[in-house]
Structure 1
Amino acid sequence: MDEDRWISPDLQTGKLIIRFRVRGFSKQFYLNTGLGCSKTNWDIVRSRKEVIERDIALNRFDPTLELYKFGNYKKPVVLVHLFSLHELWAKFLDF
């Protein structure tokens, strides 16, 4: 994995974390990614870090970290109605 001073594995969980400071804020920011330590996950976390860096540079940083959180992404719900052959035939005739 490439070294990055913002990104490191959490010593207790082994999951990648982002830890950084922002000028004008007294506290250190900490973002748990929930992602294990793999090359692909490092790339994903590095990408999120770059978003944070860009927002800081553009003076639009979200100190709540809501914009940057990793989380359970819900799959889109696809509603499927299965028609019986009789219903399909009736719809066809109506058409």
Structure 2
Amino acid sequence: MYHQGKAFAVSADRQRGFLTLFREEWRRRGLTNPEVANRLGRSLSLVVKIKAGRTPLTGHLIDQLAEILEIDVIRAFFAVDILNEPMIYFDPVFLQS
């Protein structure tokens, strides 16, 4: 996994980038908050806070969300960490790169 399951602090910019990416994938997959909570094994309350950006994303939580949303972690890394453009993750041209 991307963060090896470690619960370490993630910069605010990086959290925003991953949250943007996760929210969009969440929407595209048509997942409800209860479905995500169930898949994460977390409370619905926490999932609502995550989606609203009211709780910090740790490395471990980023890993878990990437896994349940089937995010390609290499593409996510480039979109969020290198390009600082999380929505480019969904660009068909970027997908083929």
Pairwise TM-score range, normalised by the shorter structure: under 0.3
Higher helix share: 2
TM-score normalized by the length of structure 1: 0.24
Specify the structure having the higher radius of gyration (Cα): 1
